[in-house]
Structure 1
Amino acid sequence: MNEQLLSLTHTGEEPEKYLHSVTPPVFLNSLHVYDRFEDYASIDPLREGEYIYGRASNPTVHILERKIAELEHGSRAAVFSSGMAACTSAIMAVCKAGSHVICMRDVYQPVTRFLENFCIPKLNMAVTYVSGNDLGEVEDAMKKGASLMILESPATFVFCVVDLKAIADLAHKYGVRTYIDNTCMTPIFQNPLDLGIDIVMHTMSKYIGGHSDLIGGVLVSKDDELMKQIIQEMREWYGGILGPMEGWLAIRGLRTLHARLMQHQSTAMEVAEFLEKNDKVRKIYYTGLKSNPQREIIEKQQRGHTSLMSFVLDASVEQSINFINNLKFFGKGCSWGGFESLALMPLYKSSQEELDFRNVDRQLIRIYCGLEGAENLLEDLEQAFNRL
């Protein structure tokens, strides 16, 4: 039995509650009213099927949360109005003024900006940056005392992978909570909670939404008390709950998540192998290639591969820009996870200091392989290389 497919399509649906509708309704109401005050006063939004006010909980949103919690093998999930709302809520739930945070250098850039521009100057936090691949470096940072370690695997830009179980074991030894952005893998390809990670986050505008028409984020954990704190304090106080329409769109996205990921992965494998053989490509970063130096750890904790990859051309920055501009089927834009292929140079505007910090090239090109078909994307890349 494939329990993932059942979770994607049936968990939380309960059509008998909604006139046997094949899809659940969108509850656009802001509040719920009761016949008796005693009934209202006894309601606890943290209990299954109990609702008072839309900032605390919503029936449509709750169906989505049940599905994602089951997919990630967590006790509870909490959805937010954006991935950054989820990320910052996790940090604020675990940390306090003066906390020490350990953070991978290659995490999503707005996360490091939040640490540098808010947590450090406003809350007097300390941040230690690590590669994540050197367990000795990670343990040395944990020995100094820390509240949280922020992870991403595969990580932004060059898609390096870290040993999640080994890091989780160290974190448990030193009493450090661990948080990971699992957006790139989705629960279909990776389940960090099963490897000992404490909190998993997804940006739902990517693969979970799948159609480039919603913004949202989600946190999942096996720690039910931590999740209750995140829901009651961080989300309700900050007001960052996902809207019911976005929740419904995310439910729709989950129905086809497995099928889309299989197609994305198949296309990306063909594209990555094509790029690897091209003598105009100096370096390629993709977890699915057999030549990947981290192949052993990738196969140990991943069940599949994203359709994101990066590469560096044997060319100047200007030539690399021209290469991107010559692509016809790759839109020039940020984000990813929808039906449309994308290409950009994400570090083009970065300072030399940041490039050195991340140990990456300014002309690094990141592409996302959408659903246009491998044949079309390969032809497009071929003609762009011919014009390079």
Structure 2
Amino acid sequence: MTDRPGDTDKFETMAVTHAEQPSHDDRAGDVTMPIHLASTFEVGGIDPDISLEDLNPDENQYLYSRLSNPTRHALEKRLAALEGGDYGMAFASGTSAIVATITASVSPGDHVVAFDDLYGGTKTMLKELFRERLDVAVDFVDARDTDSVSDAVRDDTALIWMETPTNPLLRLCDIEAIASIAESVDATLGVDNTFLSPYFQRPLELGADVVVHSTTKYLNGHSDSIGGAAVTSDEELANEIGFLQQVGMGNMLAPFDAFLTLRGLKTLPLRMRQHETNAAEIAAYLDEREGVSTVYYPGLESHPQYDLATRQMDGGGGVVSFELDGGLADVERFVGELDHFALAVSLGGVESLIEHPASMTHSPLTPEEREEIGISDSLLRISVGVEHPRDLLADLESAFEVLD
């Protein structure tokens, strides 16, 4: 499932050791990458012929941690390898990774086509920062229909921005087909791969130009670090994103958070398998439970894009959304009865969470905008953790019994 042709190491091996092998030449032989907290590094001497661009972290050449840091560099190398890319850049948040990637891809006067069912913060960013302040035209389309993307692109389209699956309705878009559309107009295709991680989906292999993540979620996996990343094999784009990370925005991931994410990646394959196992059981339970009107999970055969899911994904992931058959008062009673699902935003940690998109993650959208994309007051989103599935199912059942 996780083999990739041409790789020396398999995914599970890279997740544990890539860019972290001990070397007695430059450190004590730590079997894990230490936290390099130094803000600045001693250089060997004055050489007027060497510029900042000549410094090579792969050869242990460092000057200042905003530019590059050994712990962050190891994480960036590993993230690139897991996504099948050549260049990785780690940021202080997923939002900052998205801002830098979009900024590197467009100029004032350019045009962007984006999925209409994006994370609320990303959609707000595209509207209020890029459209309103930076003079970038943005059209939102239902990218489940590939023709809608094709119809929306123009000669001045510089970027197509996708999430798949989307947050919170778990809608999919055909990455390979949209990559062909992007290529036809010489546009960059960016894909937010946060919901699946590279364990279950690798958009670069399907033709995307750049992939972004909130490393806060599955990549770190323990709800104790905020971060983001961008991965690409396009050297010119990587240079632009790297410039924004190091100089233009100075918004890089701190060494301690890089260490935490490196640690989290070691168990990514193990966690993702358990997330999916638990999510599949919960989705199947909800699909049969009275009091639930709709279940959204791409691993269910009832999902309208199940065939696409099986074609471009290696698993259904760990997020399940569902509509309670009731109103806002029922939602409040339901979540109030849960013990194992904390009411909290975010996702991808080992613990199970539940959130109410209309009042939490998607509250920046107007009620009309939420209604337009299908986010109702009765919609709940579960980030399924790695606890025993029987405990999670029993917890949900106890909450349903209050409503019965």
TM range (shorter): over 0.9
Provide closer, same or farther for how the CA distance between residues 46 and 177 of structure 1 changes in structure 2, counting only shifts above 3 A: farther
Tell me what 2:131 maps to. 120
Cα distance in 2 between the residues matched to 1:80 and 1:39: 30
Cα distance in 1 between the residues matched to 2:372 and 2:302: 26
Provide closer, same or farther for how the CA distance between residues 382 and 288 of structure 1 changes in structure 2, counting only shifts above 3 A: same
In the alignment, structure 1 residue 88 sits paired with structure 2 residue 99 = yes
**Contact 1:92 1:234 (8 Å CA) reproduced:** no
Provide closer, same or farther for how the CA distance between residues 36 and 242 of structure 1 changes in structure 2, counting only shifts above 3 A: same
In the alignment, structure 1 residue 48 sits paired with structure 2 residue 55 = no
**Aligned residue identity for 2:31:** V
Which deviates more from structure 2 when the two are superposed, residues 233-242 or residues 243-252? Answer: 233-242
Correspondences of 1:264-343 after superposition (within 5 Å): 264-343=275-354
Tell me what 1:203 maps to. 214
Residues 92-149 of structure 1 show CA distances to partners (whole Å, capped at 9, x for unaligned) of 1011111111111111111111122121221111110101022222111113531111
Which TM-score applies when normalising by structure 2?
0.93
Backbone CA RMSD of aligned residues: 1.5
Residues 272-327 of structure 1 show CA distances to partners (whole Å, capped at 9, x for unaligned) of 11100102110000011122121111010000121111101111111112111111
Which TM-score applies when normalising by structure 1?
0.96
Correspondences of 1:38-117 after superposition (within 5 Å): 38=47, 41=50, 44-45=54-55, 48-49=58-59, 50-117=61-128
Which deviates more from structure 2 when the two are superposed, residues 134-143 or residues 170-179? Answer: 134-143
**Aligned residue identity for 2:29:** H
Correspondences of 1:343-382 after superposition (within 5 Å): 343-348=354-359, 349=363, 351-382=366-397
Tell me what 1:384 maps to. 399
State the SS of the aligned residue for 1:37: coil
Which deviates more from structure 2 when the two are superposed, residues 340-349 or residues 236-245? Answer: 340-349
Cα distance in 1 between the residues matched to 2:84 and 2:17: 16
In the alignment, structure 1 residue 28 sits paired with structure 2 residue 26 = no
Correspondences of 1:126-275 after superposition (within 5 Å): 126-275=137-286
Cα distance in 2 between the residues matched to 1:261 and 1:106: 24
**Contact 1:33 1:40 (8 Å CA) reproduced:** no
State the SS of the aligned residue for 2:47: helix
**Contact 1:34 1:40 (8 Å CA) reproduced:** no
Residues 180-228 of structure 1 show CA distances to partners (whole Å, capped at 9, x for unaligned) of 1101111111010011101100101101111111010000011022112
Tell me what 2:27 maps to. 18
**Aligned residue identity for 1:12:** A
**Contact 1:83 1:216 (8 Å CA) reproduced:** yes
Deviation of 1:40 after TM superposition, in Å, equals: 8.9
Name structure 2 gaps, 5 residues minimum.
Answer: 4-8
**Contact 1:56 1:232 (8 Å CA) reproduced:** no
State the SS of the aligned residue for 2:357: coil
Cα distance in 2 between the residues matched to 1:233 and 1:183: 21
Provide closer, same or farther for how the CA distance between residues 356 and 223 of structure 1 changes in structure 2, counting only shifts above 3 A: same
> Would you say how many aligned residue pairs link Structure 1 and Structure 2?
388
Cα distance in 2 between the residues matched to 1:164 and 1:34: 45
